[in-house]
């Protein structure tokens, strides 16, 4: 990518897309194309076709998606499947039609089988049953990976895919029902501290192991891969380090400064028992994350408080 190359970021206002935008601006890229969802509905084939005809981007970061935590994934199963399929079908196909030089598709670690060996290697895709709570979302993302592979095989498109681990950071979603575990806990602990509540309820048993990556590290990895990777197989993006949800909760509690007790609601689902990415492929290409978890949570919490992010949205 040249500094003047026209780059389209789909989903530039989301956590991932906004981090990629920040990274590109910081690196001196000055021809970035964006559209809000109000201006361009990526589910609309006609609208996406017209956008590509008008703008003719050279490079595409496909970070737009319908996303949410366990509860949102389980409740909005049809929406998560339909909307994600439509978004990626339209953007990937029009990128081919209009001669995009390179596209990056962003997926999720939930593509892997529920009981896959740990850590999760890229080769484990489609080797077992998916976690039922987020199966529709996972199937959509697997379809995106396979679409990039198929367009590469049939048309010679340089379309690559990156599968991030659990992400957190600036511009996260703090909705009390539809957010992921880290921002949900951050908001819970903050509100408990503000109201002097004696306890905070946390879903599940606290035993599942999860890996978390600061979103600006992901953006740096995406930028690195767009510059240095042209392979067919998708690439795991993560830290290669995990911890229990209990340890995560204790860390967030410490960062926020909540002094009460944790109460575990074991009637709520735990999800997959462990989800750790094997990031040796990414590391061998020459990229490693920089921001460790506690530092990342501290940065995120400062941003959260500064932006009054705990207001519902």
How buried is 193 (Cβ within 10 angstroms: 0-12 exposed, 13-18 middle, 19+ buried)?
A: middle
Catalytic residues: 137
In the chain, what's the furthest Cα-to-Cα distance? 60
- CB count in 10 Å sphere of residue 302: 12
226 annotated as belonging to a binding site for a ligand? no
> Is 286 marked as a binding-site residue?
no
Q: Is 106 annotated as a binding residue?
A: yes
Confirm whether residue 141 is marked as ligand binding: yes
Which among 236, 239, 271, 247 has a CA at the least distance from the CA of 71? 271
How crowded is residue 28: how many other Cβ atoms within 10 Å of its Cβ? 8
Any binding-site annotation on 93? no
CA 276/CA 126 separation, integer angstroms: 17
Instruction: Report the candidate in 177, 312, 311, 201 with the shortest Cα–Cα distance to residue 253.
Output: 201
Token pair for 263: 């109460």
11 is in an annotated binding site: yes
21 is in an annotated binding site: no
290 known member of a binding site: no
Contacts of 251 (CB under 8 A, 6+ apart): 243, 293, 294, 297
Consult the annotation and say whether 203 binds a ligand: yes
164 is in an annotated binding site: yes
Q: Is 77 annotated as a binding residue?
A: no
Q: Is 56 annotated as a binding residue?
A: no
Residue 238, annotated as binding a ligand: no
- Say whether 15 counts as a known binding-site residue: yes
- Calculate the alpha carbon distances from 34 to 22, 55, 205 in Å: 13, 10, 41
Q: Does the annotation place 1 within a ligand binding site? A: no
Tell me the C-alpha distance between 150 and 158, whole Å: 11
- Confirm if 172 and 300 have CB atoms less than 8 A apart: yes
DSSP SS3 for 166: strand
DSSP state of 132: G
CA 194 distance to own-chain centroid: 29
17 is in an annotated binding site: yes
Phi, psi of 62 (to 5 degrees): -95, 85
Binding residue positions:
11-17, 106-109, 141, 164-167, 180, 188, 203, 210, 270
Binding residue positions for substrate:
188, 203, 210, 270
Binding residue positions for NADP(+):
11-17, 106-109, 141, 164-167, 180
């Amino acid at each position: 990518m040249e500094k003047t190359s026209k780059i389209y970021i789909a989903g530039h206002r989301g956590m991932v897309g906004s981090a990629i935008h920040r990274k590109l601006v910081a690196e001196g890229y000055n021809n970035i194309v964006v559209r809000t969802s109000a201006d361009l509905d990526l589910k609309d084939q006609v609208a996406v076709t017209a956008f590509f005809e008008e703008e003719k981007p050279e490079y595409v970061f496909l970070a737009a998606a319908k996303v949410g935590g366990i509860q949102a994934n389980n409740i909005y199963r049809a929406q998560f499947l339909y909307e994600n399929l439509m978004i990626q079908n339209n953007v990937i196909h029009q990128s081919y039609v209009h001669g995009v030089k390179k596209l990056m598709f962003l997926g999720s670690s939930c593509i892997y089988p529920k009981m896959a060996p740990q850590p999760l290697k890229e080769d484990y895709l489609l080797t077992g049953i998916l976690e039922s709570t987020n199966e529709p979302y996972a199937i959509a993302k697997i379809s995106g990976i396979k679409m990039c592979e198929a367009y590469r095989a049939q048309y010679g498109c340089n379309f690559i895919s990156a599968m991030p681990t659990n992400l957190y950071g600036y511009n996260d979603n703090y909705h009390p029902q539809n957010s992921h575990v880290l921002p949900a806990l951050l908001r819970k602990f903050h509100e408990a501290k503000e109201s002097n509540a004696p306890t905070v309820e946390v879903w599940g048993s606290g035993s599942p192991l999860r890996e978390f990556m600061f979103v600006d590290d992901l953006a740096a990895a995406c930028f690195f891969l767009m510059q240095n990777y042209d392979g067919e197989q998708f690439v795991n993006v993560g830290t290669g380090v995990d911890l229990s949800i209990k340890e995560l909760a204790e860390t967030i509690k410490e960062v926020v400064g909540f002094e009460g007790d944790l109460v575990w609601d074991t009637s709520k689902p735990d999800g997959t028992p462990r989800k750790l990415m094997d990031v040796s492929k990414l590391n061998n290409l020459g990229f490693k994350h920089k921001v460790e978890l506690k530092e990342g949570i501290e940065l995120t919490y400062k941003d959260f408080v500064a932006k009054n992010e705990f207001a519902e949205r």
